[in-house]
Structure 1
């Protein structure tokens, strides 16, 4: 894991790092995630900060706790995260792309061709 950035709340970065590991299959259903103590020691941040990020994942049903044992990736966590991320992708990127394309006078066909061309060139 790389170091944390200063431009985003630390608890969100912890949460997103674990989500990324689930989405990329570094962590799979029922795998144990690092303990809060391990994350505190690794990132050298406050225990409450780590706990806040972890608790959001628990509340979302992405991870579950086994008292006295640890925290584990929930069944279906990857699918849940992918669904949420795809929706966020549409809202954050696709909608503004279409709106700007409309303002610039791109036709739908031109926009699709542009995306296909960029994907072929490995820029997408």
Structure 2
């Protein structure tokens, strides 16, 4: 279980949603499988159930989870693919834009930047 960053700028409900997305991507929850309830999440993370519900509803709004009335939230069909596309199009793209901008500030050309990326990849992603 991940630890929530209560001092950061990212809202707790977003952190809950991202944690659940990662759990789905890692195969801990399969399609049509029930996920934790807002009360279970609230207890796990010692947060308000309304905050946990907001994280669950965020994923429902993105069709990553769906509600079964009276039963809870379940993983949608193709949820993993939706998460991958979302993270590629939002998170990864934003990170790449930041790296490219910083490389320009440092006058690093494309070839040097690509070489740096390949070095990090060959090191197993850790710097």
TM range (shorter): 0.7 to 0.9
Give the aligned partner of residue 83 of structure 2.
81
Alignment RMSD, CA only? Answer: 1.7
Return 5+ residue gaps in structure 2 as ranges. none
Return 5+ residue gaps in structure 1 as ranges. none
Confirm whether residue 33 of structure 1 aligns to residue 35 of structure 2. Answer: yes
Distance 2:108 2:124 in 1: 22
Confirm whether residue 120 of structure 1 aligns to residue 119 of structure 2. Answer: no
Distance 2:114 2:4 in 1: 36
Task: Note the C-alpha offset of 1:79.
Answer: 0.7
Give the aligned partner of residue 11 of structure 2.
9
| Matched length | 124
| Contact 2:38 2:49 (C-alpha < 8 Å) held by counterparts | yes
Task: Note the C-alpha offset of 1:75.
Answer: 0.5
SS of the counterpart of 2:14? helix
- CA 1:2/1:94 → structure 2, altered by over 3 Å: closer, same or farther? closer
- CA 1:90/1:21 → structure 2, altered by over 3 Å: closer, same or farther? closer
Task: Note the C-alpha offset of 1:78.
Answer: 0.8
- CA 1:3/1:120 → structure 2, altered by over 3 Å: closer, same or farther? closer
What are the superposed Cα offsets for residues 25-83 of structure 1, whole Å, 9 maximum, x if unpaired? 21121111011221222222222111111111111111011112221100011111111
Length-normalised TM-score, structure 2 = 0.85
What are the superposed Cα offsets for residues 7-32 of structure 1, whole Å, 9 maximum, x if unpaired? 23221121111111112221121111
Length-normalised TM-score, structure 1 = 0.87
SS of the counterpart of 1:71? strand
Distance 1:106 1:119 in 2: 18
